[in-house]
Chains A and B, each alone.
Chain A
Amino acid sequence: MAITFKQVDFTYQPGTPFETKALTDINVTIPDGSYTALIGHTGSGKSTLLQHLNALLKPTSGTVTIGERVITPATNNKDLKKLRQHVGIVFQFPESQLFEETVEKDIAFGPQNFGVSEADALKTAAEMLDLVGLNQDLLKRSPFDLSGGQMRRVAIAGVLAMKPQVLVLDEPTAGLDPQGRLDMMEMFARLRHEQHLTVVLVTHQMDDVANYADNVIVMDGGRIVKTGTPREIFKEPQWLVEHQLGLPKTTAFAQQLIARGWQFDRMPLTEDELAEDLIAQLPTTAFGGATTHDE
């Protein structure tokens, strides 16, 4: 499901003395099936933009087209439910949204709101628990007994249980340990391929952007300042610094090598790419031939 913004402006508390403009002239398309990363420093309007993706906020002017549905400033708040089923949002620290007595009921809560029968919803809940890598014996436990990482997974399972076509993730790995982080990012990548999801990821982790995304939107001061593939975005380190953004670790390392006279045909984004480029450049005699070198 593609999402298109056309000349979208958004102002908080319009008409009051506290009015603040959060989005200005947003024109962008999030293509169907893409893995789009939304980056920008704090306060650049990422979270505001994200809430437009399922009409939690409606534009002050302009239109947002979500699949077939067009959201305008005049759109009624009623019957947005269907839309919200198709666009699942995992908010920052989603563990704070858990409330049911058992993990199972909490995961089933979303689907039941969209009219799935209790029996079916509970069955989905069990499947989702598997999907996010938790043990089935947690089903009957209270969500408040779980560890922080487990609670996060349950909350994400609750969103996935709605079977959305677009999955929006607002810093899903913030505050997790490195292994939990990696597991979760791998899980999203896998889900995307298995279920043909469109993924929108808001993150400050440039490594995740380089490793997983195929489309990047850069925001600054409520405007979109650049869109493109990760390779295009990370090509100009100076520009990124100007917009208070960083480089992925790999690209930063490659930059240091370039400063010492190495050359890369493409800007390496992932560790694998960097390794390939380096092996290709190593003198073949040095280690008895780079081609026999293990990966």
Chain B
Amino acid sequence: MNKLIFGRYIPGDSVIHHMDPRAKLLLSFYFIGIIFIANNWMTYLLLFAFTFLAITMSGVKWSFFINGVKPLIWLILFTVVLQVLFSASGGPVYWHWGIITISRLGLINGAYIFCRFVLIIFMSTLLTLTTPPLELSDAIEYILMPLKAVHFPVYEVALMLSIALRFVPTLMDETEKIMNAQRARGVDFGAGNIFQQMRAVVPLLIPLFVSSFNRAEDLATAMEARGYQGGEGRSKFRILKWHARDSWVTVIFAALTVALIFLRA
């Protein structure tokens, strides 16, 4: 569980680290959207060049991104293989057996899907690696603000989000600790058949739930004691600032979009 790179934050001092989290979040989503504009090798080349440039600018080591793709590689290959084997025939057919057809179009589509997956994972890994979780939750709160008009509990959702993010590492430590304590009492995690494995999880899950309840109760008491009465009417300690660089990056993304539309077949 410690090997998980996806979703971690690596402190750094690049332009991308200093960008406004709102800009980063929205532009990441926007990027995932414009990936689907690309439909020939020129456009994909442009997108890859753009992603490589962004990653180089962030100063984060390449190994992080490769490790980010690793856990998903089987899913990607599975999708690509399905696409290659079962896509409707188009162009010259290289091999045919029953319902399985390998055609030129299928191969091309498979390659595109692979590129899309890699681009999406690289860009979202870049977002999480360069943005502290709390800044992300601030950004989400800001972006959700318009929903207040339809009585969506924005403050509450934002609070839950930041508390949840704050307690992820704590709960992971706790899990590790309880696992070790139960191992020392003779529990074999991950051994035996599926039913034995499921039974072995009980001595881990129950203490985890119990400690989460206790933690929630303590935290709620501590928050009330410090005067928390709900989200309405609170001031903010961390204030998000939109800088010129954020506008520039937005302009670059717009230019990228124009170039993509221009290059697409």
Contact = CB atoms under 8 A, between A and B. Distances in A.
15 contacts: A13-B3, A17-B10, A17-B61, A56-B180, A89-B181, A91-B181, A96-B181, A97-B181, A99-B203, A110-B185, A110-B186, A113-B186, A114-B186, A144-B210, A159-B185
A17 B59 CA distance: 14
Given A78-B191, A91-B177, A97-B207, A17 B64 contact: yes
A17 B61 CA distance: 9
Contact of A99 (B2, B180, B188, B206): B206
Interface stretch (A33-41, A80-88, A249-257, A261-269): A80-88
Contacts of B157: none
B244 interface: no
A92 B176 CA distance: 13
Interface of B: 2-3, 10, 61, 63-64, 67, 174, 177-178, 180-188, 191, 202-203, 206-207, 210-211
Contacts of B2: 12-13, 16, 18
Nearest to A115: B186
B186 A51 contact: no
Given A17-B61, A97-B178, A81 B207 contact: no
Given A13-B2, A18-B2, A144-B210, A109 B184 contact: no
A85 B186 CA distance: 7
A18 B191 CA distance: 28
A89 B182 CA distance: 10
Nearest to A85: B186
Nearest to A111: B186
A12 B67 CA distance: 18
B207 A162 contact: no
Contact of B185 (A18, A96, A109): A109
B207 A84 contact: no
B92 to A, nearest CB: 45
Contact of B187 (A96, A98, A113): A113
B8 to A, nearest CB: 8
A144 to B, nearest CB: 7
A13 to B, nearest CB: 5
Given A12-B2, A81-B188, A113-B187, 5 more contacts: A56-B184, A91-B180, A97-B203, A113-B186, A162-B186
B188 A96 contact: no
B185 A113 contact: yes
Given A17-B61, A18-B2, A96-B177, A88 B202 contact: no
Interface centre among A89, A97, A109 (most CB of B within 10 A): A97
Contacts of A114: 186
Contacts of A81: 186, 188
Nearest to A78: B191
A198 B183 CA distance: 20
Given A96-B207, A99-B206, A99-B207, A17 B186 contact: no
B184 A91 contact: yes
Contact of A109 (B67, B188, B203, B211): B203
Contacts of A144: 210
A165 interface: no
The DSSP consensus for interface residues of chain A is: mixed
A96 B178 contact: yes
A186 to B, nearest CB: 24
A54 interface: yes
Most buried by A among B180, B186, B187: B186
B185 to A, nearest CB: 4
A158 B186 CA distance: 11
B63 A89 contact: no
A89 B181 CA distance: 7
A172 interface: no
| A17, A54, A109, A162 pick with most chain B CB within 10 angstroms | A17
A18 B2 CA distance: 9
A94 interface: yes
A16 B1 CA distance: 12
Contact of A84 (B61, B186, B206): B186
A158 B185 contact: yes
Nearest 8 interchain pairs by C-beta: A113-B186, A99-B206, A97-B181, A110-B185, A89-B184, A91-B181, A99-B203, A114-B186
B36 to A, nearest CB: 32
Contacts of B64: 17
B184 A88 contact: yes
Nearest to B205: A99
A75 to B, nearest CB: 15
Contacts of A113: 185-187
Interface string A27-70: 00000000000000000000000010010100000000000000
Contacts of B211: 96
Contacts of A158: 185
Contacts of B180: 51, 56, 89, 91
A94 B10 CA distance: 33
A16 B70 CA distance: 14
